Every structure is written in C-alpha cells, then in structure tokens.
Chain A
Amino acid sequence: MTDAAEARTESSALIAEEVLGFQRNMTRRGIIFSFTGYISEGILKALGDALRQKIRLESTDTKTVNRVFSVFVEQVQNVIRYSAERIEHDAEPPVELSSGMITVGSENGRFFVICGNVIGRKDADTLAVRLRELAGMDSDELRRFYKEKLREPPDEGSKGGSIGLIEIARRASEPIQFDFQHLSDAQSYFVLKAYI
C-alpha cells in the first residue's frame, strides 16, 4: 500500500467513526430524523411522507399518526414562512427557501417535533406573548380560541401563523415548550418543541 492510500484509509476510518458516533447519538436521543438547512415545501412533503410511513409501521393508532403529522406540517410551514434566514426569488416556479432545523423523535412512548429557526428580535417578543397565552389554556379553551381566530381577519404580516400555533397546541399532549436565544440586537433563535 502506498503512503497516500494508507493515509486515506486512516482518515476514512476517522470519518466513519465520527459519523457513526453522530448517528448513534441521535438514535440514543430517540430521533427518527433531523434536517438542518434550507427547507422548502417540497422537503416538507418528502419528510412528511417518510414520517407517516415510519410511524404507521410502528403500528401507531391512526389518531396519533394524524396528530403527529399535523404538528409536523404546522411547525415546518412556520419555519418556511417566518425564518429570518431565507431566499426568495420570483422565478417561475417561485423559489422560497428558508433555513431552519426540524427534528422528529420519540421518547418514553411519545412522539415529539422540534423546530428551530432565526427570527427578528421584535417578532420574538410578540411570539413569546402568544405562546405564553397558549401554554396557559386547556383543551376546551384552545378549541374556542382556534375558532375565534378563524373568524378574524389575519393579523398583519401573520400569513395565518397564529392559527397554526393553536393547531400545534391542540394536538400536543402537554403545553408546548418554547425558548429563545439572543443572537444579536436584530435577531433571536427560536425553538418550539411539542410532545404528541
């Protein structure tokens, strides 16, 4: 074996060790899949199909499959619509890519969906108020609030997202968790985690 080939083999072994370690770490945390990077509606569709197939195979009841899928769709569409890291282009068909992270997993027999993305600092304040309000509601209150919001014209600039958050809270089995990390004067990192 030449020196170069030997060096390549050694470095490949290190890559495999690192990648396997990364994958095992994810598996240990119950992660079914995790996606980081630019997200489009096409990616939502593909991941959503894979998610449904995977959890149906685990003979999960239809109700749970539907709930997990619904939370997944609303969370990912929120990232697509509200991530501050985005590329938009008026091409035909239009290009809309938004950067963020989506993770779906299961823990102690319950599924969870986590999304993370950068948002504007001001939006973070508004969002925190909204989410705190939702966290304090029981299922009947959430049901009424959803209905109330459906009747109203959408908030300015909301693109319908406030109803999406209520939908997530309704399908979740406990109050949704959320957190913000200060990035700069202009931006925060927003994380939403829902157990189903």
Chain B
Amino acid sequence: MAVVETIEHEATDRTPAVVFDFAAGQYRLSGESYPEDAANFYGPLTQGLRQAVEDRASDEVEFTVEMIYFNSSTAKALMNMFQILEDGAESGLNVRINWCYHDDDETMEEFGEDFSEDFEHADFRMCPLT
C-alpha cells in the first residue's frame, strides 16, 4: 500500500487553505476558490483522496469544507470528491462531512443543501457559523 503524504497548502487569494491528512482521515478546505486552473489545483487532492479511501488509509474520515466563495469549476471538483466519499461510505467507511458557512450566507447554505442530497451513507452535516 502506497503511503500518501499529508497535503498542506496555505490559502492564497484564489485558492483555499488545504489540509489533507490521509493517515488521520482529517480533511479541510477553507477560504475562497477560483483557481486559474481548477483541474491542476484539485487534481492531486482528488487523486490522493481516492487512493486513501480505496486503501482505507484511516478508519474514519472527517471532511470539513468552510468556503466563502467558489467558482463553478471548484463546485465540480467538490462534487467529484464528495462522490468518492459517498462511495467509500457505501462500502463501509465511516465518513462525516461538515459543511460550514456563515449563517447569513444563503449562497453557501444552498450549495450545502444541494450537495447533501447526494449522500445516503455518509453523514453530511450543515454547520452554520455565527
């Protein structure tokens, strides 16, 4: 089993702060996201997540998203990662997703509600922040 190292990026003006600790099963994306090239930014993260879920790199997965703004290419990347998590949960992995948003941010709340519809096996929680 290949060991995937933790991926960490500091937030930039256009990309979120990233912590993907595969061994601990702790994942976090926070900030704004409208990268120049979303495939380039999210590709390695999605690949790492897919491998970690397949290899059962951790017993549990907690995936936290705390975004202020993201563009449509980022939405697509999030959807891809959520599909991996739901598939993992379906095959028995314990998965929790925390969708954090400012409580007066209707746009992020709506996105959370819409993403939540795709989860049957993973535990998707809406986490309004004040």
Chain A residues proximal to chain B, CB less than 8 Å:
41, 45, 49, 62-63, 66-67, 69-70, 73-74, 77, 143, 146-147, 150-151, 154, 160, 163-164, 166-167
Q: Are B72 and A163 in contact (CB under 8 A)?
A: yes
Nearest chain A residue, comparing its CB with the CB of B107:
A66
Q: Are A143 and B71 in contact (CB under 8 A)?
A: no
Q: Are A167 and B106 in contact (CB under 8 A)?
A: no
Q: Provide the residues of chain B in CB contact with A73, threshold 8 Å.
A: 34, 71
Number of A-B residue pairs at CB separation under 8 A: 48
Q: Are A163 and B75 in contact (CB under 8 A)?
A: yes
Q: What is the interface residue range for chain B against chain A?
A: 10 to 19
Report if B5 contacts A (CB, 8 A). no
B85-101 contact mask (Cβ, 8 Å, vs A): 1 or 0:
00000000000000000
Report if B10 contacts A (CB, 8 A). no
CA gap between A62 and B69 in the complex, in Å: 12
Which of A41, A49, A151 sits near B36, CB closer than 8 Å?
Answer: A41
Nearest chain B residue, comparing its CB with the CB of A162:
B72
Q: Provide the residues of chain A in CB contact with B38, threshold 8 Å.
A: 160
Name 7 interchain pairs, CB-CB below 8 A, sorted by A: A45-B14, A63-B107, A70-B107, A77-B34, A146-B75, A154-B76, A167-B71
Q: Are B75 and A45 in contact (CB under 8 A)?
A: no
Question: What's the least CB distance linking B115 to chain A, in Å?
Answer: 8
Q: Are A147 and B106 in contact (CB under 8 A)?
A: no
Q: Are B106 and A160 in contact (CB under 8 A)?
A: no
